[in-house]
């Protein structure tokens, strides 16, 4: 079955450590996204990528970095510069090329930094 997989489901880190969240899709989608969701808040876009080897900052990119070396993979690194990293992180993909393409989400990674 095609889908989008995030790992791990839960992640705990100490403050000051960088951490990388994995996102893999086998839907052959061109576009991939990273969102952050905080309690009572809407999803906020961190980074997105329309094509391999290219990505753009979203609304809240500070303290995060991404890479898109393969079409299937879009890992997100939460750096020590991110002031409030504890959140629910959602990766998504879409066919791209059209604003009508809905998003398909992974099952999320819940990051806790203490």
Partner 1 sequence: RKEVEQDPGPFNVPEGATVAFNCTYSNSASQSFFWYRQDCRKEPKLLMSVYSSGNEDGRFTAQLNRASQYISLLIRDSKLSDSATYLCVVTLNSGYSTLTFGKGTMLLVSP
Q: How many whole angstroms separate alpha carbon 61 and alpha carbon 82?
A: 9
Stretch that binds partner 1, among 11-19, 36-44, 63-71, 72-80 (CB under 8 A): 36-44
Least distance (Å) between residue 114 CB and partner 1: 19
Of 10 and 15, nearer to partner 1 (C-beta) is: 10
Residue 22: which residues within 8 A CB-CB, separation 6 or more? 5, 6, 7, 8, 73, 75
Q: Does 10 bind partner 1 (CB under 8 A)?
A: no
For residue 46 the two structure tokens come to 């961190």
Q: Does 63 bind partner 1 (CB under 8 A)?
A: no
Q: Are 44 and 59 in contact (CB under 8 A)?
A: yes
Q: Are 76 and 21 in contact (CB under 8 A)?
A: yes
Stretch that binds partner 1, among 11-19, 20-28, 48-56, 71-79 (CB under 8 A): 48-56
**Residues within the interface to partner 1 (CB under 8 A):** 31, 33, 40-43, 45, 48, 50, 56, 58, 88, 90, 96-108, 110
């Amino acid at each position: 079955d095609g889908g989008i997989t995030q790992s791990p489901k839960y992640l705990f880190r100490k403050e000051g450590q960088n951490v990388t969240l994995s996102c893999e899709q086998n839907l052959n989608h061109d576009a991939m996204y990273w969102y952050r969701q905080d309690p009572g808040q809407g999803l906020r876009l961190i980074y997105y990528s329309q094509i391999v080897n290219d990505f753009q900052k979203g609304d809240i990119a500070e303290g995060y970095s991404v890479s898109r070396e393969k079409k299937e993979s879009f890992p997100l690194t939460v750096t020590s510069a991110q002031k409030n990293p504890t959140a629910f992180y959602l990766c998504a993909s879409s066919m791209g090329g059209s604003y009508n393409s809905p998003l398909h989400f992974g099952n999320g990674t819940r990051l806790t930094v203490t």
